[in-house]
Amino acid sequence: MIAHSEWRGGKIFEGIAENGNSVFFDADPEHTEGPSPMEAVLMALCGCTSVDVVSILHKKRQRLEGLKVTATAEQAETAPRVFTRIKLTYSVSGQLSRKAVEDAVALSKDTYCSVSKMLEKAAAIEYEIVFEGGEPEP
């Protein structure tokens, strides 16, 4: 895997993957042109665990209708401002078993999500599951 970044002027940088996919990073405090690099790390965490949870729930034949993963992070006060604590909130909807969702989230966090495994070396990662539309089956 290869990636690089190129300065595009001002505080804008383009991250480019080996296959040509790209994302713009904005180091300006307002981030009007794209996420900051640290926001992109949180988005990668949410994306990584989302892929796992959807895949696992489909394999368990759960009728998932929606999934939104939100990450709230705390950073160190001084440079380098690494994440020190991250809370993931999984909002799910569909005809789901509570146990199936809990197992899918735990498997993602503990086994499959490579972004989570890297970040947990620096930050405590906790999670909660919110069942949209009411309590699921046991």
C-alpha distances in Å from residue 89, one per residue of 11, 45, 71, 128: 31, 12, 7, 5
> 123, 90 in Cβ contact below 8 A?
no
The CATH 2.20.25 portion of the chain extends over: 1-34
- What pLDDT tens digit does each residue of the chain (138 aa) get? 999 999 999 999 999 999 999 999 999 988 889 999 999 999 999 999 999 999 999 999 999 999 999 999 999 999 999 999 999 999 999 999 999 999 999 999 999 999 999 999 999 999 999 999 877 766
Structurally, what CATH architecture does the domain formed by 37-131 represent? 2-Layer Sandwich (3.30)
> What pLDDT shows up at residue 137?
66
The CATH 3.30.300.20 portion of the chain extends over: 37-131
Hey, what CATH class is 1-34 in? mainly beta
Alpha helix ranges (H) inside 5-107: 37-59, 98-107
